[in-house]
Chains A and B, each alone.
Chain A
Amino acid sequence: MARWQFGITTVYHFLMVPLTIGLSILVAGMQTAWVRTGNPRYLAMTKFWGKLMLVNFAMGVVTGIVQEFQFGMAWSAYSRFVGDVFGAPLAMEALVAFFVESTFLGLWIFGWDRLPKRVHLACAWAFSLATIASAYFILAANSWMQHPVGIEFVDGRPRLTSIWAVLTNNTVLAAFPHTVAGSFAVAGAFLVGIAAWHLWKKHRDSAEDDPDRRVWRASLKLGSWVGIVAFAGLAISGDLQGKLMFEQQPMKMAAAEALCHTEEPASFSVFAVGDVSRADCESVKSITVPALLSFLAKNDFSSEVKGVEDLVQEYRAKYGANYPDDPRLGELAGKPIDYVPALPVTYWGFRLMIGFGAISAGMAVLALWFTRKNRVPPGRWFPLFGILSIVTPFLGNSFGWIFTEMGRQPFVVVPNPTGVDGVWMYTAQAVSAGVSVGEMLTSLVALTLVYGVLAGVEVFLLRRYARAGIPGVLPSWNKPPEPAGADGKKPEDVLAFAY
C-alpha cells in the first residue's frame, strides 16, 4: 500500500513538474525577448504562457511537499537506513533551490510594473533555473537508490564518504539530461497543442500580419522546435542511461525486454504478443530486430546480454535466496525473494515511454509542416491533433518513471555491482513498522481523492485560460490606445497584480 501511495503521488507530482520546468524556462526566454526588443507580441506570449505555468506551478509545489514527508511517514525504516546519504540532497534542494523558486516566483507574480524591468526579468530566470536545480538534487537522490556510490558500510548502514560522488553519480549525469529533455518535450507539445487550436479556431481566414495570429504562430514554431530538439536529447540521453543500466541494474534491462534467456548477440523486441510475464520464450511471439539489443547495451552488435533466468541465479548467489528472518518483515520473513520485477509493467512501460515520446516528436514535425509558409490547415481534426500532442509526452514521462521504479523491484536501494558490499535494501524492509494498515489506507484514499479533484480543477482552469487566449491575461490586447507594458508610474501603484 505504501508503494501504491508513493507510486500514485510520484506519477501525479511528475505530471506537474516537467510542465513547470519546461514552461518556466520558455516563459523566461519569452520575457527576455520582450525586454530586449520591446515587441508586444513577446509580452503577450510571456503573459499568456506565464499564466498557464502559474496554474500548474501551484500544483507542483503542494504535491512536492507530500513527496518529502512521505519518506518519514510511510518509509521510516528506509529513512533511517539511508538518512546519512539520502537526506543531504533533499535538504540541499529545499535550501538552495526551493527557497529561490518560491520566493522569486512571488516576486515575479506580484512584481510586474513594480520592479524595474530587468530586475523583474532576473526574477523569472531565478525561479526557472531553480526549478532545474531542484530537479538535479532530487534526481541525485533517486539515482543514489539506483546506483549507491560515495559511501562506506558502517554498523549495517551506508555512511556518506563523498557528497561529490553522490552529486556526480554517473547515473544522475545521465538521468538529469533525460528528465530535463522530457520536461522540454512536455512544454513544447503544450505550446504546439494550444497554439494549433487557436490558429484553427480564429485564424483560418485572418490576415497574415494579424498580431494575435502572429503570437500563435510564434508559439507554435517555438513549441515545435523545442519538442524536436527535446526528443533528440531524450534519445541520446536515454541511450546513455540504457548502457549504464546494463552495467548497474542488469535485471532492470532484462526486464525491460522480458528477455528470458541470455542471448549473444541479443535482439531487440519491438512488440510482443502473449503474456510477457512468464518470460519463458515459448508463449510469447515477438517481433524482433536482430542484434539491436546488444548494440544498445554495449555499442557492439555481437555482445552478450544476460536474460532474466540467468540473472535470477546470479542474484540469489550474490544477495541471498531468502528474506532475512526478521519479524518486522511480516509474512515475507524467511520467504524466498522474487528477483524478477513485474515484467508486463517493465516491458510495456519501456515501449510505451519510447512510443509516446516518438509520437510527440512526430506531432511537432507535422505541426511545422502543416503551418509552413503561414498556412493554417483547414481540417476539422486539427484541434484534436493538438490535444493528442499535448497528452503524449505526459504519458511518455509517466511510463518512463513507472518503468524505472518498477524495474528496480524488489529493491528500494539497488545493490551496486561495483560498489561497496552490503548496501542494498528490499522494498519490503523499507516501510514504517509502527504505522498501521488503517493509517496507510486512510492516506492512500485521501490523497488519491484530493489529487483527483484537484486534477479536475487544474484541467478546467487551464482549459478556460487556454481558450480565452491573450485577452484573458492581457486586457489591453487588441485595444489600440493603451501602449503595452505601461511603465508603472501611476500615482498609487501598490498592487499591479492582486490575487
Chain B
Amino acid sequence: MDLATFWFIVIALFWLGYLFLEGFDFGVGMLLPVLARDETERRVMINTIGPVWDGNEVWLIVAAGAMFAAFPGWYASLFSTAYLPLLLLLLALIGRGVAFEYRGKVNTARWRSVWDRVIMIGSWVPPLMVGLVLSANVLGLPLNEFGDRVGSPLVILRWETLVGALAVVGFSLVHGAAFIALKTDGEIRHRARRLAVRLAPVALAPLVVLLLLVQLREGSAWSWVPLVLALLAAVGAVGFLLRGREGWGFASFGVVVAASMVTLFGALYPNVIPSTLDTVYSLTVHNASSSPYTLTVMSWMAAFGAPAVLIYQAWTYWVFRKRIATHHIPPVHAP
C-alpha cells in the first residue's frame, strides 16, 4: 500500500473518530430541550459531556489539518466549494463551545435559556453541515480543471446530499440518546433509552438510504459487507437497548458509524473528490496528495501522536466514568 492510500485511510479514521465522538455530544445538545424536564436535568445532560466535548471537537480540527497536509488539493477544493455550509458549521461550533463554558457563569434563568438555545442550534447545525459536505464529497462536486467550483454557492444542495445531512443528524440523535442512557442515572436514563429505541427506525432511515444509494452507484462487491454489518449493528443496538444493555447499545451504534464510513470512503477511493463535470478533473489520492517526503514525515508523527491521543482520551473517559444523577449536581455558584 502506498503512502497516499495510507493517508486516505488515516483521514477516513479521523472523520470516523469525529463522527463517533462528537456525534453523541451533538446528540446530547440536540436532545437538551426534549429529554430534560427541568434545570437540574439539563445540567445532568450537559455534564455528561462537560469534560470531553472539547477534546472530541479536536478530531474535526485534526481531520481538516491532516487533509491540508496530506492532500492539499482535496482540502482546498472541498473547503472552498462548500464555503457556506462550512461557514454555518463554524458559526454553530463557535456559539456552542462558548455556550457550554458561559451558561453557568451568571445565575439567572434568562441567561441560561439564551445559552441553552445556542447549545441546541449549535448542536443541530454542525451534523447537518458535516453530513451535507461529506456526502457531497463522496457523490462528487462540480470541479473544473483547476479544482475550483463551477456553479452557484448552493450547487452542493441536491436531494442526495440532503439525505446525507439527515443521515448524520439522525445518527447523532440516537447515538446521543444512547450515550445519555449510558452516562446518567434515574428517570432521565430510562427516558433516554426509550427515546433511542423509538427514534432509531426513523432516525437511521436516511443513513440506510444514503448507504444504499452510494453502494448502488459507486460500490463494489466487497462493500456490501460493511453495509450489511452497519444494518445488523443498528438492529443489534436497538435490541441491546431494549434489554437495558446501554453500554452494548452505545457500542453498537459505534459499529454502525464505523461500517458506514468504510462503505462511504470505500466507494470514494481512489478518488478523493470525483468531478461531476468531467472525470478527468477528478481529484484522486495520487494527483491531490503531498510529496512522499511530506507524507513520510506525517506518518511518523501520526505513528507516535495518534496512539498517545487515544490513550489519554480513553483515560479521560475512565476518570469521568461514573453515571451522573440529579442529586450529584452541585448548587450553582456564580458571582
Residues of chain A whose beta carbon lies under 8 Å from any beta carbon of chain B? 54-55, 57-59, 61-66, 68-69, 71-74, 76-77, 79-80, 82-88, 90-96, 98-100, 102-107, 109-111, 114-115, 154, 159-161, 163, 328, 432-436, 438-439, 442-443, 446-447, 450, 454, 457, 461, 464-465, 467-468, 471-473, 475, 492, 494-499
Alpha-carbon gap, A63 to B94, bound state (A): 7
Alpha-carbon gap, A105 to B53, bound state (A): 11
Alpha-carbon gap, A174 to B62, bound state (A): 27
A-B contact count (CB 8 A): 267
Which residues of B lie under 8 Å from residue A83 when comparing CB positions? 68-69, 71-73, 75-76, 290
Contact B51 A107, beta carbon cutoff 8 Å: yes
Closest CB pairs A-B (n = 6): A83-B72, A72-B79, A468-B335, A87-B69, A434-B148, A472-B335
Which residues of B lie under 8 Å from residue A59 when comparing CB positions? 98
Contact B75 A94, beta carbon cutoff 8 Å: no
Contact B94 A62, beta carbon cutoff 8 Å: yes
Distance in Å: Cβ of A297 to nearest Cβ of chain B: 35
With contacts A73-B80, A99-B58, A461-B102 taken as known, whether A450 is within 8 angstroms of B330 at the C-beta atoms is no
Distance in Å: Cβ of A162 to nearest Cβ of chain B: 9
Contact A443 B87, beta carbon cutoff 8 Å: yes
Contact B335 A464, beta carbon cutoff 8 Å: yes
Which residues of A lie under 8 Å from residue B152 when comparing CB positions? 436
Complex partner residue of B65 from A95, A443, A492, CB under 8 angstroms = A95
Contact B65 A80, beta carbon cutoff 8 Å: no
Which residues of A lie under 8 Å from residue B46 when comparing CB positions? 499
B37 lies within 8 A of chain A by Cβ = no
6 A–B pairs (Cβ distance < 8 Å), ordered by A: A59-B98, A76-B77, A79-B68, A88-B297, A103-B55, A450-B94
List the B residue with the shortest CB-CB distance to A92: B301
Alpha-carbon gap, A446 to B92, bound state (A): 11
Alpha-carbon gap, A497 to B70, bound state (A): 40
Residues of chain B whose beta carbon lies under 8 Å from any beta carbon of chain A? 43, 46-47, 50-55, 57-58, 60-62, 64-73, 75-81, 83-84, 86-87, 90-91, 93-95, 97-98, 100-106, 144, 146-150, 152-153, 290-291, 293-294, 297-298, 301-302, 305-306, 309, 312-313, 316, 319-320, 322-325, 327-330, 333-335
Contact B68 A91, beta carbon cutoff 8 Å: yes
Report which residue of A80, A438, A472 has the largest number of chain B beta carbons within 10 angstroms of its beta carbon: A80
Contact B324 A495, beta carbon cutoff 8 Å: yes
Contact B43 A73, beta carbon cutoff 8 Å: no
Contact B65 A90, beta carbon cutoff 8 Å: yes
Report which residue of A73, A114, A328, A496 has the largest number of chain B beta carbons within 10 angstroms of its beta carbon: A73
Contact B80 A435, beta carbon cutoff 8 Å: yes
Contact A94 B101, beta carbon cutoff 8 Å: no
Distance in Å: Cβ of A303 to nearest Cβ of chain B: 39
List the B residue with the shortest CB-CB distance to A61: B97
Contact A95 B68, beta carbon cutoff 8 Å: no
With contacts A95-B65, A99-B309, A432-B148 taken as known, whether A84 is within 8 angstroms of B79 at the C-beta atoms is no
List the A residue with the shortest CB-CB distance to B328: A494
Which residues of B lie under 8 Å from residue A92 when comparing CB positions? 301, 305
Contact A76 B43, beta carbon cutoff 8 Å: no
Complex partner residue of A467 from B62, B80, B335, CB under 8 angstroms = B335
Which residues of A lie under 8 Å from residue B79 when comparing CB positions? 69, 71-73, 76, 79
Alpha-carbon gap, A492 to B326, bound state (A): 12
Which residues of B lie under 8 Å from residue A454 when comparing CB positions? 94, 98
Distance in Å: Cβ of A7 to nearest Cβ of chain B: 17
Which residues of B lie under 8 Å from residue A102 when comparing CB positions? 54-55, 57-58
Contact B294 A85, beta carbon cutoff 8 Å: yes
Contact A436 B43, beta carbon cutoff 8 Å: no
With contacts A58-B102, A95-B305, A457-B102 taken as known, whether A88 is within 8 angstroms of B316 at the C-beta atoms is no
Alpha-carbon gap, A325 to B330, bound state (A): 67
With contacts A91-B298, A103-B313 taken as known, whether A109 is within 8 angstroms of B72 at the C-beta atoms is no
Alpha-carbon gap, A163 to B57, bound state (A): 27
A sample of 10 more A-B contacts (CB under 8 A), given A95-B62, A465-B105, is A77-B76, A79-B79, A87-B65, A87-B72, A87-B75, A95-B66, A106-B52, A439-B153, A496-B330, A498-B104
Contact A95 B80, beta carbon cutoff 8 Å: no
Which residues of B lie under 8 Å from residue A439 when comparing CB positions? 83-84, 87, 153
Alpha-carbon gap, A99 to B315, bound state (A): 13
Which residues of A lie under 8 Å from residue B97 when comparing CB positions? 58, 61-62
Contact A107 B319, beta carbon cutoff 8 Å: yes
Which residues of A lie under 8 Å from residue B293 when comparing CB positions? 159-161
Which residues of A lie under 8 Å from residue B98 when comparing CB positions? 58-59, 62, 454, 457
Contact B319 A90, beta carbon cutoff 8 Å: no
